[in-house]
Amino acid sequence: MEKPFVYITRKLPEELLEPLKQVATIEMWPHDDQPIPYDKLKEKAKKASGLLTMLSDQIDASLLEASPHLKVVANMAVGYDNIDVAAAKKNDITVCNTPDVLTNSTAELTFALMLATARRICEAEQYVKEGKWINWSPFLLAGQDLFRKKLGIVGMGRIGQAVAKRAKGFDMDIYYHNRSRNEHAEAEYGATYLSFHDLISSCDYIICLTPLTSETVKLFNATVFKEMKDTAIFINVSRGAVVDEAALYEALVNKEIAGAGLDVFEKEPIQTTHPLLSLKNVVALPHIGSASVATRWKMGELAVENILAVLQGSKGKTIVE
């Protein structure tokens, strides 16, 4: 019997794909410096039983409907806003993601970003490397503390809880907003539930961890930034489109908030001419929330396991319902 065809949209280590090679014919987009164009992916999907995809791949209804053999789309990410899950369901295609394995790495990156923004780490490093450190003065590159400050987590899911756990060790007061109350976070980390309005107007650090849905597009807009404290630091490790970037820029320039740490942007990769990148009080990272070698490896393994499971007739390990 002919082996099923699986297409992988980014270069992954051969070793990771070994188990898949036993049961499927695999092909991989060979360029590391650019994503596969939509039309090319659509062509590949037409023949494929499985797709191993990334956030940058647009898996829409048109692609799914034009792929008669497709059984599984395994996204190498916990988020799946790039996939039309309803259309996949309609066409009997299983969608899988990679939750849990990236929780701790993403929480660590959130803290790195929060500390870097609060203590002006990137600015300070540049200062040293550019030879500007010729004297010391009492308030040179002075930033803000984390301890005993109010941390507001918007989106208390797995990563939100992992951030809360760490924040406890940093002696922060933890607040959160979520669609529903999270009793575990309240009992375990002392997190206090607040309405969105109360959270953004009272917290010193506001972390956006909410997924991108039709309800959360531009959730953080001009009105919201105006309600924040002028000393507030905004951190986004979720999706760029949850933020109105023009409004964020205005809020930073007009000193309505003190700083922003951003791992995600509306259009990725962000252009160097983007106004946000011109600001000293912005720390910008290239969407590396889950990017530790060990975690990316685990995400790849889980995506492979998901494809294998579905192709072998069982349920995917981590299905998007």
Mind telling me the catalytic residues?
239, 268, 287
What stretch of H or E contains 160?
helix 158-169
Q: Tokens standing for 240?
A: 């760029």
DSSP 177-197: E-SS--HHHHHHH--EE--HH
| One of 6, 17, 70, 76 touching ligand 8YV (CB under 6 A) | 76
Closest to ligand 8YV by CB, 56 or 281:
56
Strand order in the sheet with 25-28: 25-28, 5-8, 50-53, 72-75, 94-96
Q: Is residue 315 within 8 Å of residue 71, measured between CB atoms?
A: no
Min dist. Cβ of residue 291 to ligand 8YV (A): 7
Q: Is 78 in the site for ligand 8YV (CB under 6 A)?
A: yes
Rule CB under 6 A: say whether 199 interacts with ligand 8YV: no
Q: Is 44 in the site for ligand 8YV (CB under 6 A)?
A: no
Return the residues of window 264-293 that contact ligand 8YV according to CB under 6 A: 287, 289-290
* 16 lies in the site for ligand 8YV, by CB under 6 A: no
Q: Which of 8, 77, 242, 310 binds ligand 8YV (CB under 6 A)?
A: 77
Site for ligand 8YV in 94-123 (CB under 6 A): 102
Scan for tokens 């503390």, then name that residue: 145
Q: Smallest distance, Å, CB 137 to ligand 8YV? A: 40
Give yes or no for a contact between 264 and 288, defined as CB atoms under 8 angstroms apart: no
**Identity of the residue numbered 297:** W
3-state secondary structure of 284: strand
Q: How far is the CB of 304 from ligand 8YV (least distance, A)?
A: 14
β-strand partners of 51: 7, 73
User: Does 235 help bind ligand 8YV (rule: CB under 6 A)?
Assistant: no
Q: Does residue number 54 form part of the binding site for ligand 8YV (CB under 6 A)? A: yes
E strand spans, 257-297? 259-262, 282-284
6 sits near ligand 8YV (criterion: CB under 6 A): no
User: What does DSSP assign to residue 277?
Assistant: G
Using CB under 6 A, count the residues that bind ligand 8YV: 10
Minimal distance, residue 289 CB to ligand 8YV, in Å:
5
- Residue 155 Cβ vs ligand 8YV, minimum distance, rounded to whole Å: 12
| Closest residue by Cα to residue 239 from 279, 211, 281 | 211
Binding site for ligand 8YV (CB under 6 A): 54-55, 76-79, 102, 287, 289-290
